[in-house]
Structure 1
């Protein structure tokens, strides 16, 4: 159990780089569109190279074949699950500190039941009270942000994250529905692609590329700086490759529902790492009493919610 928790915490450490580096690029004047889109262009080449070096060139070809068969669906799923999700997350970093974005991001645990209901799934009743703690914590963090910024900055720094928190589980659920033949017809070759974790991520990245191209052409941002090119590459490696690999490894090693819930709960430490990272590397200030109370409530609520899922109704 200790090993699983340590691996989970390490993955959260690398995941938190997203919030800190996105904020850093924003403070340096980097446009949020490049911060978002470049990550996925980097991930496309990194994951493709990963499959080739791992001797899975056939699987790489399968990703493109599966995409061609259902290109409309994968463009929709990738645009929602990766495009809408990450563009809004990076947009918010232009208006709110990384720790505020990280804390608000925990609302994804509240959005998941809504997505399940949308697809006609049964929503577990366990943990509803604990989601209230998360919500209260987010409200307190929002109040803290509002006291230090204008109403406009507060809204633009928080509301996009709430929408992103809904888009991410929606995109993930679309993958699940596709794998089980609920929304599109899946061939045997496509099923093999969706059974591989790297290939699953890659086909979603591929599906998001039209979104990034259209968004960039519509906004026409100034060219990215050299620093932004480097920082987005670091985010792609740290969060898109290392963090995801560590997290999936920990979940794979878990043998019981309790161990799985413990691994999931470690992701709440992203808030702590984001806060410390912003203070250490960006000269950020410690949040006040209201903000710290909000962070604490969100963390406690998230841990209790995840652990409550191991208890039978």
Structure 2
């Protein structure tokens, strides 16, 4: 339905606001002399107890314990992809420049979901939607303009390496999310957004604990400042934003264009990170070329929302009969 698609887009846009704090707080850690490793590890270690505190108010664990015991391999693999292979490169990239530069690179996720669709699904969703890809390309083009504007026309080798790391994260996040959604769809298991995020966080914990032990042995314990900033990231991004985003994807899981539109709302993080970074971290403001890129991103977001609304109308017999 059109209303469902637009509701999902609105929820995804709200989640983008909370996701933005990932870039800002990660940047605050490294710019203050902290270690990016603790920033990402502590984020997910703190997220689990925060979600556990929310679960009793959201139906408890439900079928999650049975689901995890029945399909441990699926949850371990795709939770690692969606959380660990997403979080590590994204946080490492915070050492490369302003928070909005990292946020900009992550907008590759706009194209990631639609591009991977033929390799993920086995039904009518297993095809490329030219409209979604075209609008996604517009957003990514805007991102590249913003980045080249910041770099005054060229990025050095380390900057390109950071862009590559974030692009990798941009594919890992929707891949892990979509694979878990598809698995639950196939098994017919009903899990709410909080249960799903809790399950993926729990399934990724074994690797986070290993990384924590290695980091403790090589770098030493985290400082109180690192722990505090990581807790802020865990609350805003690991808990609130992820739950909102997963709820949005769940609403339109079988509408490819609407699902792509939900994922595209993360492009707003770039604009939000720019404002917050300039105001609170005293980062440089994008120049004219970067501003043109920002306009392209805004136009792309608006087009995605419009296309998702049209798709909702096409799939709703009641609306067609009006």
Alignment TM-score, normalising by the size of structure 1: 0.82
Distance 1:87 1:28, change over 3 A: same
Partner SS, residue 126 of structure 1: helix
1:224-239 to 2 correspondence within 5 Å?
224-239=222-237
Kindly tell me the number of residue pairs found equivalent between the two proteins.
Answer: 298
For residue 134 of structure 2, what is the aligned residue in structure 1? 129
Q: CA deviation at 1:260?
A: 8.8
Partner SS, residue 220 of structure 2: coil
Partner SS, residue 180 of structure 1: helix
**Retained in 2: the 8 A contact 1:98–1:274?**
yes
For residue 288 of structure 2, what is the aligned residue in structure 1? 289
Partner SS, residue 130 of structure 2: coil
For residue 318 of structure 2, what is the aligned residue in structure 1? none
The one of 145, 161, 169 aligned to 1:164: 169
Runs of at least 5 residues in structure 2 that lack an aligned partner in the other structure: 315-322
Matched, 1:155 2:160: yes
Distance 1:283 1:167, change over 3 A: same
1:260-275 to 2 correspondence within 5 Å?
267-275=266-274
For residue 201 of structure 1, what is the aligned residue in structure 2? 197
Q: CA deviation at 1:48?
A: 1.4
For residue 112 of structure 2, what is the aligned residue in structure 1? 111
For residue 276 of structure 1, what is the aligned residue in structure 2? 275
Q: CA deviation at 1:81?
A: 0.4
- Give the aligned CA root-mean-square deviation in angstroms: 3.2
Q: CA deviation at 1:58?
A: 5.1
Matched, 1:38 2:42: yes
Instruction: Work out the CA distance in 1 between the residues paired with 2:114 and 2:245.
Output: 22
Worse overlay, 105-114 or 139-148: 139-148
Q: CA deviation at 1:309?
A: 3.6
Distance 1:216 1:149, change over 3 A: farther
Q: CA deviation at 1:247?
A: 5.4
Instruction: Work out the CA distance in 1 between the residues paired with 2:69 and 2:98.
Output: 40
Worse overlay, 171-180 or 62-71: 62-71
Runs of at least 5 residues in structure 1 that lack an aligned partner in the other structure: none
Instruction: Work out the CA distance in 2 between the residues paired with 1:71 and 1:261.
Output: 28
Alignment TM-score, normalising by the size of structure 2: 0.80
Q: CA offsets, 1:174-221, max 9 Å, x none?
A: 11221133xxxx4x7xx24xx211111111111111222333445533
Instruction: Work out the CA distance in 2 between the residues paired with 1:167 and 1:252.
Output: 18
The one of 49, 52, 68 aligned to 2:53: 49
